[in-house]
Amino acid sequence: MVEGIHRSTRIIVDGAAIRHNISEEISRLDNKSELFAVIKANGYGHGIRAVAKLAKQAGATGFCVALLDEALDLREAGFVEPILVLGITPVEHARLAAEKGISLTVGNLEWLQEAAQNYLEDIQLKIHLGLDTGMGRIGFQTPSELTVADKFVNEHQEQFDFEGVFTHFATADEKDETYFKLQVGRFKEFMNALKKRPKYVHVSNTATSLWHAACNGNMIRFGVGIYGMNPSGREITPPYELQPAMSLVSDLSFVKKITAGRSISYGATYTAKNDEWIGTIPIGYADGYERRLTGFHVLVDGNECEIVGRICMDQMMVRLPKEFPVGTTVVLAGRSGNQIITMTDIADYANTINYEITCGFTERIPREYKNMEVTK
């Protein structure tokens, strides 16, 4: 996608916030536990390579991604730390992962058998066995299945380095712990089925580590917390301040006064009741600022300004309290004066989660970085 460098719309990522969030979490871990930074989906929209650099500065010892391609990108960028691909990688790419020292998640015996027979004749692949304790997504479903896989891996140690085992909790970000405890019990049953525990035993995503630290194992997969977003939305308060790392800003590209009775945007869904000042902003749903945010607000000089009329592909309009000059800064996420818009604010209006908001901003919006280096 073409990057829109000749317009004012941009994402600003604060490296100091990312380092703060990771450092705070590491300070809560025991000295035998490691933090792997989850930087999939282009670092939740923040930029995968930049976040990897910042995470390493803050003390992360490895990375988690969703796709083999994301792991390969990190290797190409020069990162030598352990990298775990959390999703299932097609077995025909097992050799490529092994050659690059990338760890793959495995969720069934058949994958192991095919990899051993066809792709790993003379090379060893690092693997983490995924366990489905209730997420219902990927992984071995019963301890007996794990026992068979464990036996197979131990019989093929020249081809497999059994590096880790893990599960993922579905409700760690909720106050009701009933289902969470059910998954914990199932995980313990899985662990009892293993002949020997591997190097990494990990169950904790951000929410689990924040509110169920006793379950951490010896490695946590720290994800959304890196970026200063609460995985629980507003339901549970984190044990320390999560500092938002992303701001989204633009400016007024056009300002006009309309008279009462004039309508705005597609469908003429908004009609002015009085004479009004309307500002146009060069961002739209093609940038990931979705159409469903129509009626939400932005900040102009510390003023909340409602989005009026339907958000267009590349532009949108807001009602201004007065005339502002073209070029005036508009804050779509972040602080302006005494006002702030968080990703959770945006997510609440859109009836979704803050993760989806930051991941949805497209590559058309340039990313700018500040506080990238540690200063003494």
Tens digits of residue pLDDT in 43-92: 999 999 999 999 999 999 999 999 999 999 999 999 999 999 999 999 99
Whether pLDDT at 315 is above 70: yes
Residues 223 and 252 occupy one common structural domain: no
Residues 279 and 193 occupy one common structural domain: no
Q: Residue 98: how many CB atoms within 10 A of its CB?
A: 23
Whether 71 maps to a domain, the answer reads yes
Residues 24 and 136 occupy one common structural domain: yes
Which H/E stretch holds residue 166?
Answer: strand 160-167
pLDDT band at 208 (very low <50, low <70, confident <90, very high): very high
What mean pLDDT comes out for the span 161-179? 97
Whether 234 maps to a domain, the answer reads no
Whether 2 maps to a domain, the answer reads no
The yes-or-no answer on residue 175 being catalytic is no
Q: Which of 227, 259, 277 is the last residue of a domain?
A: 227
Residues 221 and 303 occupy one common structural domain: no
> What's the CATH number where 126 sits?
3.20.20.10
Residues 195 and 76 occupy one common structural domain: yes
Whether 193 maps to a domain, the answer reads yes
Residues 182 and 319 occupy one common structural domain: no
The yes-or-no answer on residue 40 being catalytic is yes
> What's the CATH number where 335 sits?
2.40.37.10
DSSP secondary-structure letter at 204? B
Contact between 61 and 82 under an 8 Å Cβ cutoff? The reply is: yes
Whether 362 maps to a domain, the answer reads no
Residue 291 marked ligand-binding? no
pTM: 0.95
Q: What is the pLDDT of residues 228-238, one digit of tens each?
A: 999 999 999 99
Of 195, 257, 266, 370, the active-site residue reads: 266
Whether 239 maps to a domain, the answer reads no
DSSP secondary-structure letter at 298? E
Residue 292 marked ligand-binding? no
Q: What is the spatial distance between Cα 324 and Cα 256, in angstroms, rounded to a whole number?
A: 9
Whether pLDDT at 10 is above 90: yes
* Phi and psi angles of residue 198, each rounded to the nearest 5 degrees, phi first: -80, -175
The one-letter amino acid code at 26 reads I
Whether pLDDT at 376 is above 70: no
Residues 207 and 324 occupy one common structural domain: no
Counting the structural domains of the chain, the total is: 2
Mean pLDDT computed over every residue of the chain: 97
What mean pLDDT comes out for the span 322-333? 98
Whether 329 maps to a domain, the answer reads yes
Residues 219 and 329 occupy one common structural domain: no
Which residue segment(s) compose the domain that 198 sits in? 15-227
pLDDT, position 1: 82
Of 40, 126, 200, 285, the active-site residue reads: 40
Residues 335 and 288 occupy one common structural domain: yes
Asked which of 28-32, 140-144, 262-266, 334-338 is least confident by mean pLDDT, the reply is 28-32
Q: What is the spatial distance between Cα 296 and Cα 47, in angstroms, rounded to a whole number?
A: 26
